Amino acid sequence: MGALALAATAGFLVVPALSGGDPAFATWIATPGELIGIERDNAVSDCLRSSQGVGDGMYSNNLAEAEVAIAEKRGAWTTVVLTDGHGFEATCTTDTTTPWFKKGSIGSVGKPGNGKELTARDVKATQLGTGVISDNPLSMASGQVGPDVAAVTYTRATGERVKATVSKGQFALWFPGPELTNSSDQAVPIEVTYNDNTTETRYLSL
Protein backbone atom coordinates (compact mmCIF):
# COMPACT_ATOMS: atom_id res chain seq x y z
CA MET A 1 0.00 0.00 0.00
CA GLY A 2 1.45 3.32 -1.03
CA ALA A 3 1.75 6.21 1.41
CA LEU A 4 1.53 9.94 1.04
CA ALA A 5 4.58 11.88 2.14
CA LEU A 6 4.02 14.21 5.08
CA ALA A 7 6.10 17.03 6.47
CA ALA A 8 7.02 16.02 10.03
CA THR A 9 3.48 14.90 10.79
CA ALA A 10 3.29 12.88 13.99
CA GLY A 11 0.20 10.87 13.08
CA PHE A 12 -0.64 9.24 9.78
CA LEU A 13 -3.83 7.72 8.48
CA VAL A 14 -4.22 5.46 5.47
CA VAL A 15 -7.31 3.26 5.56
CA PRO A 16 -7.90 1.50 2.21
CA ALA A 17 -11.45 0.86 1.08
CA LEU A 18 -12.07 -2.84 0.62
CA SER A 19 -14.18 -2.34 -2.48
CA GLY A 20 -14.63 0.89 -4.38
CA GLY A 21 -18.01 2.00 -5.66
CA ASP A 22 -16.30 4.16 -8.29
CA PRO A 23 -13.77 1.87 -10.00
CA ALA A 24 -10.57 3.57 -11.21
CA PHE A 25 -11.89 7.02 -10.23
CA ALA A 26 -14.30 7.01 -13.18
CA THR A 27 -16.33 9.97 -11.88
CA TRP A 28 -13.36 12.13 -10.84
CA ILE A 29 -13.28 15.70 -12.21
CA ALA A 30 -10.49 18.28 -12.29
CA THR A 31 -12.61 21.16 -10.97
CA PRO A 32 -14.04 20.49 -7.51
CA GLY A 33 -17.52 21.28 -6.30
CA GLU A 34 -18.50 22.40 -2.80
CA LEU A 35 -20.03 19.95 -0.37
CA ILE A 36 -23.24 21.21 1.23
CA GLY A 37 -26.05 19.97 3.44
CA ILE A 38 -26.25 16.36 4.56
CA GLU A 39 -23.55 15.34 2.09
CA ARG A 40 -21.14 17.72 3.80
CA ASP A 41 -22.22 16.64 7.28
CA ASN A 42 -21.66 12.97 6.44
CA ALA A 43 -18.23 13.57 4.93
CA VAL A 44 -17.10 15.58 7.96
CA SER A 45 -18.44 12.96 10.38
CA ASP A 46 -16.67 10.18 8.47
CA CYS A 47 -13.39 12.10 8.58
CA LEU A 48 -13.68 12.73 12.31
CA ARG A 49 -14.50 9.10 12.99
CA SER A 50 -11.67 7.81 10.81
CA SER A 51 -9.15 10.14 12.44
CA GLN A 52 -10.04 9.41 16.06
CA GLY A 53 -8.04 6.21 16.34
CA VAL A 54 -4.76 7.53 15.00
CA GLY A 55 -1.96 7.33 17.56
CA ASP A 56 -4.25 5.66 20.12
CA GLY A 57 -6.42 8.76 20.19
CA MET A 58 -3.56 11.23 20.73
CA TYR A 59 -5.36 13.80 18.57
CA SER A 60 -8.77 13.56 20.22
CA ASN A 61 -8.53 17.05 21.73
CA ASN A 62 -7.39 18.56 18.43
CA LEU A 63 -10.27 16.90 16.60
CA ALA A 64 -12.75 18.15 19.19
CA GLU A 65 -11.63 21.72 18.50
CA ALA A 66 -11.19 21.33 14.74
CA GLU A 67 -13.23 23.25 12.20
CA VAL A 68 -13.87 22.45 8.55
CA ALA A 69 -11.41 24.30 6.33
CA ILE A 70 -12.21 22.41 3.11
CA ALA A 71 -15.15 20.24 2.08
CA GLU A 72 -15.05 19.46 -1.63
CA LYS A 73 -16.27 16.81 -4.05
CA ARG A 74 -14.88 15.53 -7.30
CA GLY A 75 -17.47 13.23 -8.79
CA ALA A 76 -18.23 10.51 -6.23
CA TRP A 77 -15.20 11.48 -4.15
CA THR A 78 -15.12 13.86 -1.20
CA THR A 79 -12.15 15.51 0.48
CA VAL A 80 -12.36 17.08 3.93
CA VAL A 81 -9.63 19.09 5.65
CA LEU A 82 -10.03 19.85 9.36
CA THR A 83 -7.86 22.34 11.28
CA ASP A 84 -7.78 23.63 14.86
CA GLY A 85 -5.93 26.91 14.34
CA HIS A 86 -2.85 25.61 16.16
CA GLY A 87 -1.11 23.70 13.39
CA PHE A 88 -3.20 20.52 13.51
CA GLU A 89 -4.56 19.09 10.24
CA ALA A 90 -6.69 16.07 9.38
CA THR A 91 -7.30 15.25 5.71
CA CYS A 92 -9.62 12.53 4.39
CA THR A 93 -10.47 11.56 0.80
CA THR A 94 -13.33 9.05 0.44
CA ASP A 95 -15.43 7.34 -2.23
CA THR A 96 -19.00 8.11 -1.15
CA THR A 97 -20.50 5.38 -3.34
CA THR A 98 -18.75 2.59 -1.45
CA PRO A 99 -21.10 0.67 0.87
CA TRP A 100 -20.76 1.89 4.47
CA PHE A 101 -19.44 -1.47 5.69
CA LYS A 102 -16.61 -1.34 3.13
CA LYS A 103 -15.93 2.37 3.28
CA GLY A 104 -12.37 3.61 3.71
CA SER A 105 -10.42 6.80 3.20
CA ILE A 106 -6.92 7.97 2.52
CA GLY A 107 -5.30 10.96 4.13
CA SER A 108 -3.26 12.21 7.06
CA VAL A 109 -3.60 13.33 10.65
CA GLY A 110 -1.14 15.31 12.73
CA LYS A 111 0.83 18.50 13.27
CA PRO A 112 3.21 19.35 10.42
CA GLY A 113 6.56 20.86 11.40
CA ASN A 114 6.31 24.51 12.36
CA GLY A 115 9.08 25.94 10.16
CA LYS A 116 8.88 29.60 9.22
CA GLU A 117 5.64 31.54 9.43
CA LEU A 118 3.81 31.88 6.12
CA THR A 119 3.95 35.19 4.31
CA ALA A 120 0.85 36.58 2.57
CA ARG A 121 1.75 34.85 -0.71
CA ASP A 122 3.23 31.61 0.59
CA VAL A 123 2.06 28.12 -0.31
CA LYS A 124 3.29 25.31 1.94
CA ALA A 125 2.71 21.61 1.28
CA THR A 126 2.04 19.45 4.33
CA GLN A 127 0.88 16.44 2.31
CA LEU A 128 2.47 15.64 -1.04
CA GLY A 129 2.82 12.32 -2.80
CA THR A 130 1.02 9.23 -4.03
CA GLY A 131 -1.21 6.85 -2.10
CA VAL A 132 -3.38 3.86 -2.99
CA ILE A 133 -7.06 3.20 -2.35
CA SER A 134 -8.96 0.20 -3.70
CA ASP A 135 -5.74 -0.84 -5.47
CA ASN A 136 -5.73 2.39 -7.48
CA PRO A 137 -3.03 5.09 -7.05
CA LEU A 138 -3.88 8.73 -6.52
CA SER A 139 -1.67 11.80 -6.26
CA MET A 140 -2.38 14.32 -3.51
CA ALA A 141 -1.15 17.82 -2.69
CA SER A 142 -2.51 19.81 0.23
CA GLY A 143 -1.34 22.25 2.85
CA GLN A 144 -1.39 25.88 3.88
CA VAL A 145 -1.62 29.17 1.99
CA GLY A 146 -1.14 32.83 2.89
CA PRO A 147 -4.10 35.26 2.90
CA ASP A 148 -3.25 36.71 -0.52
CA VAL A 149 -3.56 33.34 -2.30
CA ALA A 150 -6.82 33.08 -4.24
CA ALA A 151 -6.29 29.95 -6.36
CA VAL A 152 -3.87 27.07 -6.92
CA THR A 153 -3.70 24.97 -10.10
CA TYR A 154 -1.57 21.98 -11.04
CA THR A 155 -1.01 20.91 -14.66
CA ARG A 156 -0.74 17.16 -15.11
CA ALA A 157 1.66 15.49 -17.51
CA THR A 158 -1.33 15.01 -19.83
CA GLY A 159 -1.88 18.77 -19.94
CA GLU A 160 -5.05 18.63 -17.84
CA ARG A 161 -5.31 21.46 -15.31
CA VAL A 162 -6.40 20.41 -11.82
CA LYS A 163 -7.88 23.17 -9.67
CA ALA A 164 -7.38 23.10 -5.93
CA THR A 165 -9.94 24.12 -3.36
CA VAL A 166 -8.53 27.11 -1.45
CA SER A 167 -10.33 27.98 1.77
CA LYS A 168 -9.57 29.23 5.29
CA GLY A 169 -5.81 29.20 4.81
CA GLN A 170 -5.68 25.70 3.33
CA PHE A 171 -5.52 24.19 -0.17
CA ALA A 172 -6.17 20.69 -1.47
CA LEU A 173 -6.08 18.97 -4.85
CA TRP A 174 -5.72 15.39 -6.02
CA PHE A 175 -6.03 13.34 -9.18
CA PRO A 176 -5.87 9.70 -10.28
CA GLY A 177 -2.51 8.11 -10.96
CA PRO A 178 0.99 7.94 -9.45
CA GLU A 179 2.31 11.17 -11.01
CA LEU A 180 3.52 12.62 -7.71
CA THR A 181 5.32 9.46 -6.60
CA ASN A 182 8.74 11.15 -6.70
CA SER A 183 7.58 14.44 -5.20
CA SER A 184 9.92 14.02 -2.22
CA ASP A 185 12.89 14.11 -4.60
CA GLN A 186 11.87 17.02 -6.81
CA ALA A 187 9.81 20.19 -6.48
CA VAL A 188 6.28 20.14 -7.90
CA PRO A 189 5.33 23.21 -10.01
CA ILE A 190 1.97 24.87 -9.40
CA GLU A 191 0.34 28.02 -10.71
CA VAL A 192 -0.69 30.39 -7.94
CA THR A 193 -3.20 33.22 -8.45
CA TYR A 194 -3.32 36.05 -5.95
CA ASN A 195 -6.13 38.35 -4.88
CA ASP A 196 -4.92 41.06 -7.26
CA ASN A 197 -5.32 38.58 -10.19
CA THR A 198 -1.57 38.25 -10.77
CA THR A 199 -0.16 34.76 -11.19
CA GLU A 200 3.19 33.06 -10.79
CA THR A 201 4.72 29.61 -10.78
CA ARG A 202 5.64 28.31 -7.34
CA TYR A 203 7.15 24.97 -6.35
CA LEU A 204 5.88 22.56 -3.70
CA SER A 205 8.20 20.37 -1.67
CA LEU A 206 8.37 18.78 1.75
Segment 156-185, tens digit of pLDDT: 999 999 999 999 999 999 999 999 987 767
Would you mind telling me the total number of residues written for the chain in this entry? 206
- The percent of residues in the chain predicted with pLDDT above 70, rounded, is 85
What is the pLDDT at residue 147?
A: 97
What is the pLDDT at residue 161?
A: 98
For residue 48, the surrounding DSSP H or E stretch is helix 37-52
d(CA 185, CA 160): 23
Average confidence (pLDDT) over 115-127: 89
Give, in order, the Cα–Cα distances in Å from 67 to each of 34, 70, 121, 166.
16, 9, 23, 15
